[in-house]
Chains A and B, each alone.
Chain A
Amino acid sequence: MGTFLRRHRGLVPYLLLAPGLLWLTVFYLVPSLQMAVSSLWTGSLEKGYVFSFANWTNYTKALGRFEPQFTRSILYGGAATILTFLIAYPLAYSIAFRGGRFRNLLLFLVIAPFFTSFLLRTLSWKIILGDVGPFLGPLKDLGVIPSDFRLLATPIAVISGITYNFLPFMTLPIYVSLEKIDFRLVEAAQDLYANRFGAFRRVTFPLSLPGVFAGSLLTFIPAVGDYVNAELLGNPDTTMIGNVIQNQFLTQNNYPTASALSFLLMAGILIAVFVYARILGTEELTAGGV
């Protein structure tokens, strides 16, 4: 074996790659192709399925039938992404530039919520936002808000749940790009009579854009596909496309429609990412992610 490898050195990287890439091929790539095939099926689980390219109408039908849920997913996902950005940027900024010796501790506290179940955290929000919970209860007692005011089962609850759950995904990449900034550049801007805000606007912020880009993607992609927040904090009028996909796959066993919806979701995300990359002008997608 040793001599064989020494004689064929070029093979070493491929041997290292083979087992992992084989796994990803069989259990990621093949399923994706299978889903493309399934999306062009007609039939049912009991009677069996027939494949035909004529079934492209599965897509138009799915899009027509579930258009409100698609729109809602993009709106909720977009709103949550903007909110996480607004909360995360100052947080990442102060950890990077004012954190001092507490920097690592603060970073740890940002990711610490991940050490407990995503579902349990979301259920905690159900308690916090509850109709007579610790937040609304006192306000109602004081008469600040009407007693039938609700946060649960509204878009506000769903969006704030998504915002909370994906906040660390936005904070960490922004922190990483801010932390890399050579502070002498900011000092140089100030020496050249930029005021503090000017230096931030023209130097610090542009240099942190790769982090903003990566963070927005890491938030937006799972946020659009999320259905747990809509399920636990929302009501039937706040269902997102994830809820529909889950329902079609696991309850209705309607695999063709569900596959078509999944593909549309994936395509929508890819288009959004592409447009976003063009607007922002950063090609950090693969560089930042890989």
Chain B
Amino acid sequence: MNKITESLLRVVSGFGGTFKGAYNVREDGECAGRQSSENIKIESKKEGPGLVIHVRPGTKGETVYIPACVTHGGVDDLVYNDFYIGEDADVLVVAGCGVHNDESTEARHNGIHRFFLEKGARVLYREKHIGTGTGKGAKRIDPVTDITMAENSYLEMDTVQISGVDSTMRRTTATLAAGARLVVRERLMTTGTEWARSDFDVTLEGEDSGVDLISRSVARGRSRQEFNSCLRGKNRCSGHSECDAILAESGSVVASPSLEAAHVDAALIHEAAIGKIAGEQILKLRTLGLTREEAEERIIQGFLK
């Protein structure tokens, strides 16, 4: 892999020169390194670009790294990765993406990840996105995550995009069987003229299934964000979504949450708040000796932590 990829990997997947466990590194649409483990098999898809990852039932405490990097303009990378998580497995999936562009043509990564969790499986899914480079060409990342969860499975999705991505369209869908639980934590910051859209569509099919979706975002400069969520309760279930956004300078955010309940015991809640940093928060930190600018940075840093 090239130096740019190494640098991006350090940010998006905690790369320290090597990965411990199963991994596949994708660089500019090509495989730059792969390793399976005894319990986690990574294979190329036969019908198109992408991977099939099988986690053996009962696998505990292992990590699989599936990062992807685009290192120059003129690349439009599309990849389909399918994760099959065996019954009662408990694993960490790290799937960051970095796009670097020093050129005038667009650089894009579009990763379509499908998760199939068997009964009792547990996954912590970490997804970190970043854009770097000084070229005029746009840096785009358009992730799609489709999640199918069997009975009593659990998936926690920790997704972060902090800087440098000019345009992103993030789409997550999930269907939950009985007793399954999905937790999503999204943190997003846009600056300059960046644009970001997040769509979440979660269907709570099974009895006692549950979802907790929390999105925190900061829109700075003249950047724009859109947040759309739909929780569909089709059984006795619980769903909570929360969209908190901070506006700075001339940033703008549109939040469109929706709830659909088709069962009398579907308990669905949505909370949304959009606004500038509260003046009293800045004031409190200034009474501790921080300047206004330091206080604002600290508040945003904590908000997106």
State whether these chains interact: no
